[in-house]
A = this chain, B = another copy of it.
Amino acid sequence: MRLIVQKYGGTSVGSPERIRHVAERLVATQRQGCRVVAVISAIAGVTDSLLKLARDVSAQPSERELDALLATGEHAATALVAMAVNALGAKAISLTGAQAGVLTDRMHTRAKIANVSPKQIHELLSDEYIVVVAGFQGQTAEGETTTLGRGGSDLTAIALAGALNADACQIYTDVDGVFTCDPRVVPDALKIEGIAYDELLEMAGAGSKVMQSRAVEFAKKFGVAFEVRSSLKPSVGTIAQAETANMEDVVVRGVSVERQQAKVTVTGVPDKPGSASRIFSAVSAANILVDMIVQNASGRNSTDISFTIHAADLPKVEQLLGPVVGDIGARRVSAQSAVAKLSAVGIGMRSHSGVAARLFDCLGRGGINIQLISTSDIKIAVIINEADVDRAAQLAHEAFGLGKQARVRKAP
């Protein structure tokens, strides 16, 4: 008998009606002859309300108490889903993370899953229960409640699927799956059927935030395949899995765009150890995330270093770097907002040459100027003017043959 883990996020349980809808889906899955484990997030908005209360009573709530507080959101949602399943005449039982056997380390608010003991879940599944587990949480060896941080419910689902040796792990979201590009930008973008973990990680880092990177990393580490699919439609979604040989046949899996970026360039950085460190220490000390970092081959004992950040962080960064530039003896800082990042991602790049050339060529023919280039094993990313990014995505999407029309054209 197939064992399926299904994860539902906060919007999927955002109202009594939606909770009943989730229950119907769980019962339908069981009636298809499956054993069913559901992982549930807190009802949308509940976690934020609890956080607000915490801030109202304490400027710096202890992380242990924050975990005790926030875990109640998933507990409540889980009990409600179990009730809704019962109301449909099926057997269901809700479990806290602790009861489900999710053991974590002691890092409150960002605990790591150390182990999952699925004995109780197995027993309940044998008794034909639909087992409804609170996501986002676990318990330390000492019995303290912990939470897993952002994307924690996805993590719970993937960890349970791994520990239970599930036949499928389905992550229900408000999107239909992972697309070759954002369909709002490229209308003939296609849903991707299968994607390698690394591709999904690079896509996630490039603005396609279907899943938190942490959950994908975990799935990759333990080899747990999962499907990202819509909680509103019955269609199949995108399966993320370990690479298979024929996955490399596709050169580029998808194109993603990230808007509202800013580019910062420090020119005339003395070519000696510690200069780059001074720059990025100053930025990270202010909790600002740096995305791309590019340094060109240096000439005449100095070099130029460019990096990208979110546009909203630009004023802060310019202010921070003013004194640093003087200290390290660099020439000056220049910055440009209203830029965007375009990435082409695919494990096929490892075995296909000329991918970068093909991207640069299509952009060049479209008259789109490339300001920065950065590549990894399976990704090519460029910074361009934000005004050009939709057209650039359409050109790249077409150049790599990703769209519906491209496939039709191939057919004859």
Residues of A within 8 A of B (CB): 16, 19-20, 23, 50, 53-54, 56-62, 64-66, 68-69, 71-73, 75-76, 78-84, 86-87, 93-94, 96, 99, 143
Contacts of A53 in B (CB 8 A): 16, 76, 80
The distance in angstroms between the C-alpha atoms of A81 and B73, with both chains bound, is 17
Contacts of A71 in B (CB 8 A): 75
Q: How far is the CB of A129 from chain B (nearest CB, A)?
A: 11
Contacts of A54 in B (CB 8 A): 79-80, 83
Q: How many copies does the complex hold?
A: 2
Given A16-B53, A68-B75, 4 more pairs with CB closer than 8 A: A16-B57, A53-B80, A72-B75, A75-B75
Instruction: Tell me whether A76 and B58 are in contact in the complex, defined as CB-CB below 8 angstroms, given that A65-B94, A94-B65 are known contacts.
Output: no
The distance in angstroms between the C-alpha atoms of A93 and B81, with both chains bound, is 30
Closest to A13 in B: B57
The distance in angstroms between the C-alpha atoms of A82 and B76, with both chains bound, is 21
Q: Top 10 closest A-B pairs, CB basis?
A: A16-B56, A69-B79, A58-B87, A72-B72, A58-B83, A68-B79, A57-B84, A61-B83, A65-B79, A72-B76
The distance in angstroms between the C-alpha atoms of A239 and B37, with both chains bound, is 51
The distance in angstroms between the C-alpha atoms of A58 and B61, with both chains bound, is 35
Contacts of A94 in B (CB 8 A): 65, 68
**A143 is contacted by which of B16, B73, B87, B99 (Cβ under 8 Å)?**
B99
The distance in angstroms between the C-alpha atoms of A53 and B66, with both chains bound, is 24
